[in-house]
Amino acid sequence: MSPLSRKAAERNKKYLNPVMRHVAPRLPGFGLLTHTGRRSGAAYTIPVNVFVRDGAYVFALTYGPETDWVRNVLAAGGARVRTRGRTVELTDPVLGRDEKASWAPFVVARILRATRSLETLTMRER
């Protein structure tokens, strides 16, 4: 079961994501991730929470590691992210879990711990 409910995910997909697509590439802690569907081969772009730590891009998996976008990135071996006005090709996705969310800024870490969203996907620049 994912930390946040499927119902919340569907609401966000319908109402929040269309707005976030316009602002996520410029906001700290957010970005637009473009990944390829593992079955369809189609390109998908979604807003995500992403932070750069020690040269790696760490994605907060607020809906857990079983989401389609995570499975697509793992199957493809990478993705592209647009964050802070920069587009970066990423590779070598690795799933992880950090009980303290120590990679995240203080306020974000508190929210992630409170929602039990402790799984991450980490990638490095290609």
Pair 76, 111: CB distance under 8 Å: no
Pair 109, 100: CB distance under 8 Å: yes
**Domain boundaries in the chain?**
6-21+28-125
pLDDT by residue (tens digit) across 68-100? 999 999 999 999 999 988 999 999 999 999 999
pLDDT by residue (tens digit) across 28-45? 899 999 999 999 999 999
Pair 70, 46: CB distance under 8 Å: no
Q: Does domain 6-21+28-125 have CATH number 3.10.20.90?
A: no
Pair 96, 44: CB distance under 8 Å: no
Cα 104 from Cα 6, distance rounded (Å): 24
1 pLDDT band (50/70/90 cuts)?
Answer: very low
Size (the chain), residues: 126
**Where do we find the tokens 């369809």?**
40
